[in-house]
Structure 1
């Protein structure tokens, strides 16, 4: 009877040990994941449209003069123009190109897409003055629209909108840097090893 009890206890111990061993192997296998697969998944996560939005306003006075009879007679037209514009600066990271070297455990960012700037102005006219001999035409509106966008482009360059968009871009790319570092891989861009956000800042220029 006692021998049977000992055998029974031994069987239970064996089963428990086998169960623990299987659990250990299972846990071990779960951590042995293909590094390039994880990196590609992170690239998919990073690969999205990064958009930074801004709003700009300006007031423009448009004037035009048409002269007749050697300049003796002239007809003026003018208008006060109020512009409110929504501006977006976007990086489409779906277009980012990269190369993965499994042997050397290196991922190289080949190219980062250039920012895309979209200006959507809302133009309203006030205090319009014109004559039948010098009315507002489609050509005037085209000139005004062109002038408005040129002025807005200058304002955007002087603002922090583009630098803010770049900071968001670097923040997204840094997620890829974290993954490669944790896996013991090397991240490169433009021939330089990227080890921090500061390196990205130095390599990515507006």
Structure 2
């Protein structure tokens, strides 16, 4: 009879030990997962900033306009030399990046990355202005010149390496998330695709 009680006692003791051990390791794993997700969250906050790539452009334009009267017998001209110095910036505001953290699957899903913001700020100076009282420079002329300058600068920027440089900086920042997650055994997905290396980002 005594042996039976001993078997029951040791059996219950074994079950208690197994239960306590299970709870300990389960809590430890849960704590580690939470710790990892907090570290990743902190890294994303560090990445979440404004990335600005700057460029500078200069150009010289000659503006000419002519008003003709009496079938072209009389004309009144106006012209000016236009010198433009412009700062152009391409920015990504990663504070607007949308993502989710899947602790169960250990996956960081980047849902959307904000598009670039392009700003063109030209400094326009006018020289050698020639005009007639019958054909003077007006606000409409200056607005037209500014519009043309911005249009020309936008075309120049598209042909330059400025946008590519800005995108490379963006990918470099996002790769910091990749580095941290991989070191902790997590994965990164962007646009539904798993990102294993920096070159996998398709933005």
Q: TM-score, normalised by structure 2?
A: 0.82
- Equivalent residue, structure 1, for 2:159: 158
Unaligned runs of 5+ in 1: 1-27
Unaligned runs of 5+ in 2: 1-27
CA-CA distance at 1:149 after TM superposition: 0.4
- Equivalent residue, structure 2, for 1:92: 93
- Equivalent residue, structure 1, for 2:183: 182
Deviations 1:110-149 (A, max 9, x none): 1101111111111111111100111000000000000000
- Equivalent residue, structure 2, for 1:137: 138
1:69 equivalent to 2:70? Answer yes
- Equivalent residue, structure 1, for 2:25: none
CA distance in 1, matches of 2:197, 2:68: 64
- Equivalent residue, structure 1, for 2:194: 193
The runs of at least 4 aligned residues of structure 1 exceeding 6 Å deviation read none
CA distance in 1, matches of 2:187, 2:120: 38
- Equivalent residue, structure 2, for 1:22: none
- Equivalent residue, structure 1, for 2:40: 39
CA distance in 1, matches of 2:41, 2:69: 70
- Equivalent residue, structure 2, for 1:82: 83
CA distance in 2, matches of 1:72, 1:183: 82
- Equivalent residue, structure 1, for 2:174: 173
CA-CA distance at 1:38 after TM superposition: 1.1
CA distance in 2, matches of 1:138, 1:178: 54
- Equivalent residue, structure 2, for 1:121: 122
CA distance in 2, matches of 1:66, 1:192: 61
CA distance in 2, matches of 1:96, 1:192: 17
CA-CA distance at 1:187 after TM superposition: 0.3
Aligned partner of residue 72 in structure 2, secondary structure: coil
What value does the CA root-mean-square deviation take over the aligned residues?
A: 1.6
Q: Tell me how many residue pairs correspond in the alignment.
A: 174
CA distance in 1, matches of 2:48, 2:135: 53
CA distance in 1, matches of 2:55, 2:74: 45
CA-CA distance at 1:70 after TM superposition: 3.4
CA-CA distance at 1:72 after TM superposition: 2.7
CA distance in 2, matches of 1:71, 1:139: 23
1:59 equivalent to 2:60? Answer yes
